[in-house]
Each structure stands twice: as C-alpha cells, then as structure tokens.
C-alpha cells in the first residue's frame, strides 16, 4: 500500500533529522468502500500526501484506520498543514470536530476546509477567531442534520410497528411480530450499521444476514424518508 510506504519513509526521515518537516496533507473520507473520494481530491498533486478513510462519519477522526495514521504523523512532527474538503469529513459530532481542531491548533498545524474557505490559523500561525466561530456554527448544523436523519428513522420505526403488514410485508397468519423481528440480535446489529451509513452488501457480510433481510430492514428504516 503506497500511503504506508510513504509514511514509513517520512518516519525514517524524521528519525535521522529531528527538525520538523512541513508536509501538507489532504485528508478525505467517504462512508463506505464502494464510494469514491474524487470530488474531495481538489488539486491533490499539490499535497505531499493524500490520506483516505472509508468509514462512517460518526467515528472520531483519530480512531479511524487512516485517521490514526494521521495522528501518528502529527505526534512525530511530520505534518505542517492539513486540508479537508468540508467540516463534516472530520466528524458529524460537534465535540469530535472541536477536539480535532483543538488538537491541531495546540500544535500550530493549520487545518483548511476547502469548500467553506476556512482555515483554523491565520498567516502568523495564530488561532483564527472568525474561522473558529464559523466552524462551530457549521459543526452544529452537521450535528443537527444527523439528528434529524436519526429522528426520521425513528419515526419510520414507529410507523412500521403500527402497521407491520404495510411496511414489512408481513404475511397473514405469520407468528412473528414486528417487535420480535426487530429484536433479533443480528437484525438489531444490521439496523445500527445501516443507520451509520453502511451499504446493504456490507451489512449483509458483517451481520451474516441474507441480502433480502437487509433490504427488508432498510425499507423499514426509510419509511418516513423515501428517496
């Protein structure tokens, strides 16, 4: 894997030369393995390294597979600047976003959010108060949007419980209630994964359920949010 080789080279360089290296990093993230980060790779050749994560956005950035490598590079003074397409690529939880910005600001590493045109530090390396204010506002918006999605899903669950024949295709005479169907361990796991943004095929493999069952659960989750 190319990015691991690059990281190994950088770590070797810093071992031989303790002086801080100002490497520019472009961090990208999508929610699932079949999604692409092309839209986020603006002028990618102008960066020293592009780091790509494929995982749900509610996972803290430094706990993600590639995000943890980014933290290792930061801790070893290998990072001079970080660019991210948008604030929600860093997290969907305001606290997680603020923690990431605080961590990088403490180490005087500017983080630029490309689509919003914001940078956490000014040209003198000091904290940018205007950017901090807008980032907090936009982080709140991202968190509210996530909460609304979860609320619509919860409403869909309530509707399905009221009318299982309509929303779950329950056959007449079936002995299994909707609540029993949803309470199954694997089905509950599948619901959680779907809510986190995983694709049907990924959920099917992780939870060990038939794709038809996943489709049934997903249809149920999307009842109040069609399309």
- How is 33-77 classified by DSSP, letter by letter? TT---GGG-TTGGGSSEEEEEES-TTS-GGGSHHHHHHHHHHHTT
Please say whether the structural domain 2-140 has been given the CATH code 3.40.50.1360.
no
Closest by Cα among 81, 68, 89 to 110:
81
Closest by Cα among 226, 191, 222, 221 to 207:
191
Beta carbons within 10 angstroms of residue 151's beta carbon: 12
Q: At what angle do helices 129-162 and 211-221 cross, to 10 degrees?
A: 110
Q: Average pLDDT of 47-69?
A: 91
Q: Average pLDDT of 8-32?
A: 65
Confidence of residue 24 (pLDDT cuts 50, 70, 90): very high
Beta carbons within 10 angstroms of residue 226's beta carbon: 7
Sign of CA pseudo-dihedral 81, 63, 28, 4: positive
Tell me the C-alpha distance between 218 and 195, whole Å.
9
Q: Flag the least confident range among 46-55, 96-105, 121-130, 150-159.
A: 150-159
Q: Flag the least confident range among 71-75, 77-81, 180-184, 194-198.
A: 180-184
Residue with tokens 């749900």: 56
Q: Flag the least confident range among 80-84, 168-172, 193-197.
A: 168-172
Q: Are 168 and 178 in contact (CB under 8 A)?
A: yes
Q: What is the pLDDT of residue 209?
A: 87
């Amino acid at each position: 894997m190319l990015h691991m080789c690059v990281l190994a080279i950088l770590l070797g360089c810093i071992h031989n030369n303790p002086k801080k290296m100002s490497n520019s990093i472009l961090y990208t993230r999508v929610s699932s393995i079949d999604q692409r980060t092309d839209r986020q790779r603006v002028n990618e050749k102008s960066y020293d390294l592009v780091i790509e994560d494929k995982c749900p956005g509610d996972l803290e950035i430094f706990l993600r597979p590639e995000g943890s490598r980014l933290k290792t590079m930061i801790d070893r003074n290998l990072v001079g600047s970080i660019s991210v397409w948008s604030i929600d690529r860093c997290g969907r939880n305001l606290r997680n976003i603020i923690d990431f910005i605080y961590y990088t600001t403490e180490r005087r590493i500017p983080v630029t959010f490309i689509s919003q045109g914001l940078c956490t530090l000014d040209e003198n390396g000091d904290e940018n108060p205007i950017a901090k204010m807008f980032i907090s506002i936009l982080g709140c918006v991202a968190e509210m949007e996530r909460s609304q999605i979860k609320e619509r899903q919860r409403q869909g669950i309530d509707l399905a419980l009221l009318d299982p024949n309509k929303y779950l295709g329950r056959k007449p005479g079936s002995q299994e209630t909707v609540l029993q169907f949803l309470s199954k361990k694997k089905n509950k796991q599948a619901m959680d994964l779907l809510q986190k943004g995983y694709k049907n095929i990924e959920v099917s493999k992780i939870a060990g359920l038939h794709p038809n069952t996943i489709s049934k659960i997903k249809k149920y989750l999307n009842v109040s949010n069609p399309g």
